[in-house]
Structure 1
Amino acid sequence: MANPFEQIRANSNDQRRSMQWYQRQVQQLASNINTPSAAMRSDVFEVAPRIEVGSMYLYRYDPKHKKKLPYYDTFPLVLPFEPTAGGFYGLNLHYLPFLMRAQLLGKLMETANDKTIGDETKMRYNWSLLKSVGNEVKPCVKRYLSQHVITQFYKVNPQDWKATIFLPIDNFVGATKQQVFRDSRNMVNG
């Protein structure tokens, strides 16, 4: 299976494009990546032996305390930001509506170590910076335990960050995506 994100990058001609443009491109060119299983089978993501702060990852996750949670995402799209005993803290972008995802990713990409986004680009953020970004980080800050990651980590190529946030591959248990988005908006605005 060919990587549709290569076509999206070619179509952008390395120009800045609107959120709507990326969303349309993903709907047209990556429509076959619409479930977690399809994402893991695709050529889009690279298996990574471990995570690094400043990169973006997908993986299957089975929360330890899921019975206590009102809902959770079993296929998070995460920007790790801090290691912790037995795991790490990360921003699961799936908790944010698409526009808020794009806005937050845009702010974080301003911290990138390269002006031109390439294969080795990393975002340089930490908890202090994330707190100063605004309330939009609140709904997506999660702690992940390494023992509850049930697949390999799938690293997103930095050149594909903008397109990946629009893939419909979240897998919420206990609530619909619309309910999660509504709760997140309330948390951000409340």
Structure 2
Amino acid sequence: MAIQESFLSRVSDAVRSGTVGKEVKRSTKWFHDKIKGLKGEVKNRFSSTNAAKFYREAETRVQPIVFKRKVSLGDLFCYYYNPKYKKTLPYYDMFPMIMLIRAEKETFLGINFHYLRPKWRAILLDRVTAKIGGGLPRWSKLRKIKQIAPTIKRYRFDHIMRKVVPIEENEQEIAIFLPTERFKKSGKTKVWSESERKFG
């Protein structure tokens, strides 16, 4: 596990030391270069390059009904999703990667990191983590983060299409770099550019 910890530390240190710009601007290539050096279980877990492979290789998947009953605010999840109003949406992500920040009876609210370029995902995760500390996510604090506005999405429990993949806390900083976004009705570059125009 030393290899995994070293890899995670590299990402964390880059974000917290202020060198994130240089490191993360080439994050996709950097990620794949690093993943080649991993071995065994660690490499298998993070070798996915798209949503289908990531989902198929996930070690843990839970039924949507279990996810609904045992939601844990602040945790990261991935799942296939079919929006109720997809015909009227300009675009949407079929495989969201969200941090859960609120859950209600029929719907839940999450930060979908896929709506940002990789460099902004790392910065946002770091700032959200700093705001949360050891507690639960509170919108009164999170709303002050300028990159967060375009990532806040509401989802329906009954429109999750398959089992939900939970992301372990110590794997979040790697998972956000994975190119698992599956945007419909628009390309990811356009989505990311529009998100940046919404920064507060």
By the TM > 0.5 criterion, same fold? yes
Question: What is the match of residue 142 of structure 2?
Answer: 130
CA-CA distance at 1:133 after TM superposition: 2.1
CA-CA distance at 1:8 after TM superposition: 5.3
Q: Give the letter aligned to residue 153 of structure 1.
A: V
CA-CA distance at 1:152 after TM superposition: 1.1
Return 56-65 or 14-23, whichever deviates more.
14-23
Q: Structure 1 stretches of 5 or more lacking a match?
A: 1-5, 114-122
CA-CA distance at 1:187 after TM superposition: 1.0
Identity, % of aligned pairs?
24
1:38 aligns with 2:43: no
CA-CA distance at 1:7 after TM superposition: 6.9
CA-CA distance at 1:126 after TM superposition: 1.7
Contact 1:78–1:93 (8 Å) recurs in 2 = yes
Question: What is the match of residue 90 of structure 2?
Answer: 70
Aligned residues: 173
Aligned with 1:66: secondary structure?
Answer: coil
Q: Give the letter aligned to residue 92 of structure 1.
A: N
- CA distance in 2: counterparts of 1:170 and 1:156, whole angstroms: 15
Distance 1:13-1:106 versus aligned 2 partners, 3 A rule: closer
When the two chains are superposed, the root-mean-square deviation of aligned CA atoms in Å is 2.3
Question: What is the match of residue 159 of structure 1?
Answer: 170
Question: What is the match of residue 120 of structure 1?
Answer: none
Q: Give the letter aligned to residue 33 of structure 1.
A: S
Contact 1:8–1:25 (8 Å) recurs in 2 = no
1:104 aligns with 2:104: no
Question: What is the match of residue 7 of structure 2?
Answer: 12
1:83 aligns with 2:86: no
CA-CA distance at 1:185 after TM superposition: 0.7
CA-CA distance at 1:141 after TM superposition: 0.6
TM-score (norm 2): 0.77
Q: Structure 2 stretches of 5 or more lacking a match?
A: 15-19, 36-42
- CA distance in 2: counterparts of 1:81 and 1:153, whole angstroms: 16
Contact 2:8–2:173 (8 Å) recurs in 1 = no
CA-CA distance at 1:174 after TM superposition: 0.6
Question: What is the match of residue 117 of structure 1?
Answer: none
Contact 2:101–2:109 (8 Å) recurs in 1 = yes
Distance 1:80-1:62 versus aligned 2 partners, 3 A rule: same
- CA distance in 2: counterparts of 1:58 and 1:152, whole angstroms: 9
Aligned with 2:137: secondary structure?
Answer: coil
Which of 142, 145, 159 is 1:148 aligned to? 159
Distance 1:68-1:97 versus aligned 2 partners, 3 A rule: same
Question: What is the match of residue 94 of structure 1?
Answer: 114
Structure with the larger helix share: 2
Q: Give the letter aligned to residue 124 of structure 1.
A: L
